[in-house]
Amino acid sequence: MMGTNIPSTLAQARSLTLYAGQWLDLIDFRAHAGAVVFSPSMSTYHDMLDPSATDAARLEACRAMRHHVLRRAEAEHLDGEATHARLRPVDPYGLRWRTTPDGATLETIACLLSAAIGIFELNRDG
């Protein structure tokens, strides 16, 4: 890839992974109701937040967490759709988010994870 500074793009992917991990920790993310909270008891926590983790481990952790985050975001979206249909808020431009606040947070985290994954994959193959 011409003109790309690989160390800085990898640093960006590492930062995105860190931010996503911090968000998951902040919101006490659970993959489902019976799952453990995202915490130091999980290997993905360390793969995302440990400065000495390898980029390969970060990539796999991002992939795994994105799967769970997107599943939860979809459930929140369905709740938001139901609420929107019930309340029918004024939306002259049709741009209101039809999700819950948790869903919006999860979608943002999924974007961080997707961006990190894209950079890691691009640099792994390049």
- Give per-residue pLDDT as tens, 79-119: 999 998 898 888 899 898 899 999 999 999 999 999 999 99
- Hunting for tokens 């800085």 — which residue is that? 8
* Nearest C-alpha neighbor of 13 from the set 106, 113, 107: 113
Q: In the numeric block, which tokens belong to residue 11?
A: 């640093």
Q: What is the pLDDT of residues 23-76, one digit of tens each?
A: 999 999 999 999 999 999 999 999 999 999 999 999 999 999 999 999 999 999
Q: In which element (H, E) is residue 62 found?
A: helix 55-87
pTM equals 0.88
Phi and psi, residue 49, nearest 5°: -105, -20
Sign of the alpha-carbon torsion through 67, 73, 101, 117 = positive
Residue type, 69: V
